[in-house]
Structure formats: C-alpha cells, structure tokens
Amino acid sequence: MKNNLQNIILKKNKKPVKAWKWMIVSLFLFFALSGSSIAIYGAGVYRFLVLILPEPKLEAMLDLPESSRIYDRNGVLLYEVHGDVKRRIVPLDDVPMALREATIAIEDKNFYRHRGFDVFGIARAFYKNFRNKKIRQGASTITQQLARTVFLENDRVYSRKIKELVLAIEIEKRYSKDQILEMYLNSIPYGANAYGVSAASEIYYGKNVKDLNFVECVYLASLPKAPSDYNPFGPNQDLLVRRAESVIAAMRKNGFLIDYEQKLFLEKGRPDFVKSPVMIRAPHFVFYVLDELKKAYGESYIREGGLDIYTSLDMDLQLSAENAVQKWGETNEKKYGADNSALVALDPKTGQVLAMVGSRNYFASADGNFNAATSPRQPGSSFKPYVYAAALSSGLTPNTVFVDDETDFASYNSGVSYIPRNYSGKHYGAVTMRKALAGSLNIPAVKAIVQTGIGKVIDLAENMGISTLAERKRFGPSLALGGGEVKLIEHASAMAVFGNNGIRQEISPILKISGRERKILYEWHLEKGRQAVHPHAAYWINSILSDTQARQYIFGRNNLLQFSGRQVAAKTGTSQDFRDAWTIGYAPNMAAGVWVGNSDNSPMKKGADGSKAAAPIWNEFMKYALARLPKEDFNRPKDIREPAPPKYPVELAASSTPDNLAKAVAPKAEEARKMSDALGTQPKSVSPSASVKALAVVAEAKPASSISVQPEKKAATAPVAPVLEVGGPDPSADLGG
C-alpha cells in the first residue's frame, strides 16, 4: 500500500502550470539537449563530483551528535546530557502526521514527486538571486537540505549548491522517501540547540513529539527556515505568527486542509510554549553517575553518543527521601542552625543505590550543589560498629564486660593525655559489650579499639568499603569515636554489609547502558559478593543494634531507631562541637544513612546530636521504604553459639591472676582463629602478656571495689599515631550520641 501522505500529495497537487514555468523548462531542455559534447561534459563532471563527495550512507546519521539520557530503574527520565547539540533520533511513526504534512507543505511541496531537486524551484531562486545580485533564496528540497546538514558545510555559495544537488540525487537513488523524511526531521536545527523534532518538542512544549497537537505541529514546522528570527522565546513574535499563518496557507493550498480547518487554526492562535529550566531529577545522584561514566567512557562520548543509561535509582523512594530531608531540614535549621542534610539508601543484598539526596535543595543556594553524600565528614559514634565487629572477630563476645570509668589513654596516644567522656557526662561502671554499643558509651569503645588494635579496625572498615582511612598514621584511639572521616554513601553501604550476613556487595548505581540501535554496552549482574565480616560477628552487631531494650537506658523507651514488628538495626553519631549528626540503619532488605550539619563544617547549636537532628529524617524515610517491602529478620548462622554469661569483676576476684586470665582468654583466641580462617586472614596470637594488657582494658578480673583501668605503659609496645586533632586536642571526647 502506498504511503497515505504520498497519495494525498500526488492526488491533490495537480494544478495548472504557469506559462513562464513552461518557458523555463523549455530553455533548460534546450541547453541540456543542444549537443552531445555538453551532455558528455556534464556527465563527466557529475561522476567526478560523486567520487570526491562524501558517500551518502545511512550510517552517517549515526555519526551526528546525539544526546544521552539517564533514567531511573523504572524508565523515569532523570536528565538528558548533551553538548552544543541536543538531539534524540525518533522513528517516523512517532512523528505526528500533521507535523509531516506541515513540513512538506512549507519546505518542499513536491517532495514525493521529484527525484532530489525541483527544476522550477531552482529556476525561480536563480532568477530572484540574479535580480537581487546576491544569494537570498536557496530553493533547496528536503533532500538537498538533508545533504547539506549531514554531509556539507552550510555556506551560501554556488559550488556548494552544485554539490548539494549531486548528493541529493544520490540520496534519492539509495533511500525511500519516508527514510529521507525521517532522517531530515531528525537532523535539521530548530533553534535553542535543538536538532530534530524530538528535541525541539521537548524544549518548546515540554512534551514528547508524538503527543503534539495540530497547532503545535504547525508552529514547530515554522521554525527551520530561520530559527533565530522565529524563536518562540525571542522578540519577533509577530514574525512567528505570520510564518505559522504561511504554513497553514501552504497546507491548504497543497491539499492538506479544507477551509474550515484553516479557520479553526486561525481562531486558536499561538500554542502555549513552555520555557522551563533544564529538567533534572535527583541532581546529586545524576552527577554522581555522570562522574562514574566519564571515567569509563569519556565526557564527549557521554554527551554525544546517544546513550540510554538506566540507573538503580527508585524515583518513588527518591521523592520520599527528598521530602524527608526538606521537611526536617527546615526544622533543623530553625532549631539547631543546620543548613544542610543528606540521605543515601541502598539495597544490602545487591549494593544498588536506591536514593541519594546530597543537600536540602540543589538549586537553592551556592552550596546547594555540594554533595554531602559523597564528601568525607567525621562520623562520631556511628563508627563504633566497625570497632566492635573487629573485637568480635578477635574473640570477644557480646557479653564481654568493659569498665566504663574515667581513663587516660595517653599510653596509646603517643604520651598525649586522652580522656574521653560519655555524651551524658556519666560513667556506668561494668557493662557488657551489648550494653556499651547499644547505649553508645565512649570509654568502652576506646578500650575495645586499643584492645583489638587500631590497624585491625581499619582493616575491617576498608574490607567493608570505607576508603577514607588510608593515612593510618593520622589516627589514634579517638578513631573509635569517629576521629576519621567517612563518606555517607560508603558508610551506609558498609553498615549494610552487616545486614547482608557480612557479605559485601559493591556500590552499584548503574543497571544498564545501551548505545545507538539499542546495542547493550553494559549490564549489571548480581555477583556472589565477598565475605568482608565473619557471619558470627555480623550477626552479633545486628543483634545489638536492633536490641531496643538494650539502648533504652540512654535513648529512652520511645526512640526513633525502632519499628514495631520489624528487625531494624541502627546507630547514631555526633562529632565534636556538634559539627556532624548521623543516623545509619538497616534491615535485611533496606539500608539508609542520614547526615546533618553545615556545608562549611561550622558547628551546629548544642544538642544537635544524631538522635535528634538526623534520626527524624532517617525514621520517616525508613518507615516509607519498609512499608513497600516484605518483613525480613536478620539471618542467624546455624553454627553460632550463645556466648557465656557475662563475668562481672566481682565474680572474678578470686581468679584475677595473669595465668587464670590467660586461660579465660584462650577460648576467645581459638574463636578468633576460626573467624580469621573463614575470612582468609591470620589473627595475632593471644599470649599471656596480651592477657595482662587485656586486664587493664577489659574488666573481667578485678573486684568492683578496686576497678583501676589505667593501661600499663609497657603494654603499648607497638607505635601508636597521635590522635587526630580537629577543633581541639581532644576530638570526639565529649560526644557519642
């Protein structure tokens, strides 16, 4: 069946030819047939031009710059990336018939009749240009315009017109009229950096080209002749209206309209043009993804390669995250003087990034585009789970007892006095690891890190995905309380490792990348993952951080870290001088982290701790996210055993000799070896001398009436780096919430 549009033109475009046109044709034929020598010469010139001109291959369209698009996991457009040219190629079937007809009527009414050039048009343009003594009219057909746009420079000289004509003839030999029209509508400029009807429709109307109505099609077809003069956002609105009226008149004249349709158009007037800022959703995430893509493909290819990039982002969760950050961000600014907040959410089982909010409002201020989700900040006590996980892997248990009292760790701090304090200002005496971590006590955490070893804690944190602790000499005992910077996205991902049975999945923001012609360039697949933490240690961290009763003595009965009927683990953190407030938490199928603070790292007001400034944001987001997911409990390894009951100092008074303590520690050493074997690492041996050092830190062998936990200087045999100095000589010493 013949093309419907072609049939209309062929049937309705049969009008009497004026006498002067016949004269021009006669003269043209006379000169063309006046002698064989002229014909032979002309044929030779044509063949020569065909040889030296670019071959008009369809593949040339693929070399044109084309915008790349970034989508969320469900196909929601987040952003279109382009350079000086914004173009998206669409099939002809997606272009409304009205736009095709309007374009042909005003640009090339004989498009379906000629073979690449219009004899009458050329003669008419030659005559007018001769009279004006300069080139003012081109008379190029749609095929010639395509040849010029794709293969030639846009210079107004006669030599270019000859090349254009030759290429047009060659194009007509190779491709159907519909193929030519499709290439044309995808390549010509419409102004405002828009090339092709798809980009023009989005820029001027804010909609997909296939959704344009009749009036919008007419105005769009008016632009290619002079995009700057007819710019819908420019000063020449009268010119644009007159041009549109010319288009509608040409449509009627060439049989595309009847009288009442023309009258209807004139009554409707101008369409509504939408001039909005560049559309971008989840901007911090988009530019995070672009940075990753540029490393792999280069910036120019991303901007001009016509890629479709499907990310892991869930726009529904993203909107929930943005709403929570905005809502509580306003409260935090009024109450605590905090100008910024950030949130990251991931799937613990896959590592896929589901939401990322890098600031309260990307467009609001000069600091809005600052991405706090990827910037290093001090985590406060939210770092403690890594410390205790390393301690558990070294043989301690949730029932290991620490004495929470005033302690100077100078021996572990290059001789510099270091006396941390709890956030409450109180001491709690002998407490189990469970109670110490659940209540975020500071002194037991520092004892745990010097007992386990700072290097071993950093090893574990790095295995779990923390990349910011490479300069190990910077860190001392205060690392246990967040004395080293972390990135929110890495912190949330690393904490999610606990919820995934200690298995680390790499952070994955991209699911699929396809190039032109839908060629798959990259596709994400779930990997096995790496056992970064022993499953037993991961389980006990999950158990402690989800123990709502264990934390009540510090956080109260009704705190924002718990969810009725759900196992959710959570940890808060606050850095020195209230510069940073954190809440990081996870369920087996969802993890989220929140940071609150000031972009310039200035302190917030007193009281802006993690449980008050960050937890409300985290709670609101997690409540929404978990409601969409099935209930899951943390996995308990089949071979795990309940730890021995806690042995408080008074119970061990009779056996507080170094030898007995060494015997008590030996089973822990064996457990550490088993964990290390499972992870492919070798633990340090636990010797009687190490047990003596443990006596000073872990209170399992002294009567309650004589708890003295000043470390012995001779125990600190390994060199310990000085404490990280931030805001004073005693970083993180006063905070733990």
CATH of the domain at 334: 3.40.710.10
Q: What is the pLDDT of residues 609-635, one digit of tens each?
A: 999 999 999 999 999 999 999 999 999
Give pTM, 2 decimals.
Answer: 0.76
Half-sphere CA count of 164, side-chain side, radius 13 A: 26
Amino acid type, 586:
Y
Are residues 502 and 367 both part of a single domain? Answer: yes
Phi, psi of 581 (to 5 degrees): -125, 135
Q: Is the pLDDT of residue 653 over 70?
A: no
Task: Decide which of 256 and 285 is more confident.
Answer: 285
Predicted confidence at residue 126, as pLDDT, reads: 63
Alpha-carbon span 212 to 221, nearest angstrom: 12
In a domain? residue 589: yes
Query: Is residue 403 pLDDT above 50, yes or no?
Result: yes
Distance, in Å, from the CA atom of 485 to the CA atom of 25, rounded to the nearest integer, reads: 82
Tokens linked to 320: 């929930």
Inter-residue contact 101 to 256 (CB < 8 Å): yes
User: Domain range holding 550?
Assistant: 310-377+485-511+530-645
DSSP 117-180: --HHHHHHHHHHHHHHTS-------HHHHHHHHHHS----SHHHHHHHHHHHHHHHHHS-HHHH
Q: State the Cα–Cα distance between residues 470 and 631, nearest whole angstrom.
A: 38
Strand bridging mode 308-311 / 68-71: parallel
CA neighbor of 480 nearest in space, from 418, 554, 556? 418
Calpha distance 273→282 (Å, rounded)? 25
Residue 475 reports pLDDT greater than 50: yes
Q: Are 603 and 378 a contacting pair, CB within 8 Å?
A: no
The predicted pLDDT at position 619 comes to: 97
**At 438, phi and psi to the nearest 5?**
-60, -40
- Here the tokens at position 67 are 């915008």
Are 451 and 506 within one domain? no
545 burial via Cβ count (<10 Å: 0-12, 13-18, 19+) = buried
Q: What is the 3-state secondary structure (H, E, C) of 291-357?
A: HHHHHHHCHHHHHHECCEEEECCCHHHHHHHHHHHHHHHHHHHHHHCCCEEEEEEECCCCCEEEEEE
542 and 596 co-located in one domain: yes
By the 8 A CB rule, do 100 and 184 touch? no
Q: Which pLDDT tens digit goes with each residue over 418-442? A: 999 999 999 999 999 999 999 999 9
Structure token pair of residue 62: 């693929």
CATH of the domain at 215: 1.10.3810.10
**Residue 354 phi/psi, 5° resolution?**
-100, -25
Average pLDDT for 645-649:
87
Residue 610, Cβ neighbours under 10 Å: how many? Answer: 33
Say if residue 152 is in the same domain as residue 245: yes
Confidence of residue 679 (pLDDT cuts 50, 70, 90): low
Residue 423 structure tokens: 């956030």
Better-scored residue on pLDDT, 316 or 730: 316
Same domain, 495 and 476: no
Q: What domain count does the chain have? A: 3
pLDDT tens per residue across span 438-471: 999 999 999 999 999 999 999 999 999 999 999 9
Dump pLDDT digits (tens) for 108-148: 999 998 888 776 666 666 666 656 655 555 568 999 888 88
Q: What pLDDT was estimated at residue 550?
A: 95
Strand partners, 512: 310, 523
pLDDT tens digits, one per residue of 282-297? 999 999 999 999 988 8
Amino acid making up residue 4: N
Give per-residue burial for 634-669: e unless 16+ CB within 10 Å, then b.
beeeeeeeebeebbbbebbeeebeeeebbebbeebb
The answer to whether residue 46 scores a pLDDT higher than 80 is no
- β-bridge partners, 431: 402
Q: Are residues 627 and 651 in the same domain?
A: no
The CA distances from residue 168 to 64, 117, 118, 147, 623, in Å, are: 18, 7, 11, 6, 63
pLDDT of residue 36: 47
Average pLDDT in the chain: 81
Q: Which of 103-117, 147-161, 312-326 has the highest mean pLDDT?
A: 312-326
Per mean pLDDT, which range of 85-94, 145-154, 661-670 is the poorest?
661-670
DSSP, collapsed to helix, strand or coil, labels residue 371 as coil
Per-residue DSSP letter, 610: I
Q: Per-residue confidence at 516, pLDDT binned at 50, 70, 90?
A: confident
Answer whether 651's CB lies under 8 Å from 378's CB: no
Residues 688-728 pLDDT 10s: 333 333 433 444 333 322 223 333 333 333 333 333 322 22
Q: In this structure, are 536 and 464 located in the same domain? A: no
| pLDDT tens-digit series, residues 325-359 | 999 999 999 999 999 999 999 999 999 999 999 99
Q: With bands split at pLDDT 50, 70 and 90, how would you rate the model's confidence at 152?
A: low
pLDDT value, residue 513: 97
Average pLDDT over residues 652-669: 39
**Alpha carbons 280 and 510: distance in angstroms, whole number:** 17
Structure-block tokens of residue 264: 């209807």
For residues 581 and 610, state if they share a domain: yes
What is the per-residue pLDDT for 59?
A: 63
Question: Residue 647 contacts by C-beta under 8 Å, 6 or more apart in sequence?
Answer: 401, 664, 700
Whether 444 is in a domain gets the answer: yes
In the chain, the percentage of residues whose pLDDT exceeds 70 is: 74
pLDDT digits (tens, 9 = 90+) for 162-174: 777 778 888 888 8
Task: Kindly state the average pLDDT of the residues 515-519.
Answer: 82
Question: Same structural domain for residues 108 and 208?
Answer: yes
Q: Within 10 Å of residue 359's Cβ, how many Cβ atoms?
A: 24
- For 487, half-sphere exposure in the C-beta direction (CA atoms, 13 angstrom radius) is 17
Last residue in a domain, options 645, 680, 713: 645
Asked whether residue 136 falls in the same domain as residue 262, the answer is yes
Is 429 inside a domain boundary? yes
Statement to judge: residues 478 and 491 lie in one domain: no
What is residue 680's predicted lDDT score, i.e. its pLDDT? 46
Domain finish residue from 615, 645, 675 = 645
Q: Which residue has the higher pLDDT, 123 or 685?
A: 123
What is the C-alpha separation between 480 and 405, in angstroms, rounded?
Answer: 16
Residue 287 lies in a domain: no
Closest CA to 478 of 164, 732, 170: 732
Q: Is 190 helix (H, G, I), strand (E, B) or coil?
A: strand
Please give the pLDDT value at position 262.
Answer: 73
Give yes or no for residue 480 having a pLDDT over 50.
yes
- Rg (the chain; Cα; Å): 37
- Quote the longest CA-to-CA distance of the chain: 127
Most confident option among 169-178, 595-604, 660-669: 595-604
The verdict on 237 and 213 lying in the same domain is yes
Which tokens sit at 125? 């343009």
Region 65-80: mean pLDDT is 93
* Residue where one domain finishes, among candidates 268, 283, 302: 268
Structure tokens at 512: 């699929």
Instruction: Please check whether residue 593 lies inside any domain of the structure.
Output: yes
Neighbours of 325 (CB within 10 A): 26
- How much is the average pLDDT of 186-198? 89
pLDDT tens-digit readout, 521-572: 999 999 999 999 999 999 999 999 999 999 999 999 889 999 999 999 999 9
Distance from C-alpha of 52 to C-alpha of 252, rounded to nearest angstrom: 42
Tell me if 289 is assigned to some domain. Answer: no
In a domain, 494, yes or no: yes
In a domain, 629, yes or no: yes
**Spatial contact of 408 and 433, defined as CB atoms under 8 Å apart:** no
186 vs 313: CA distance, rounded Å: 30
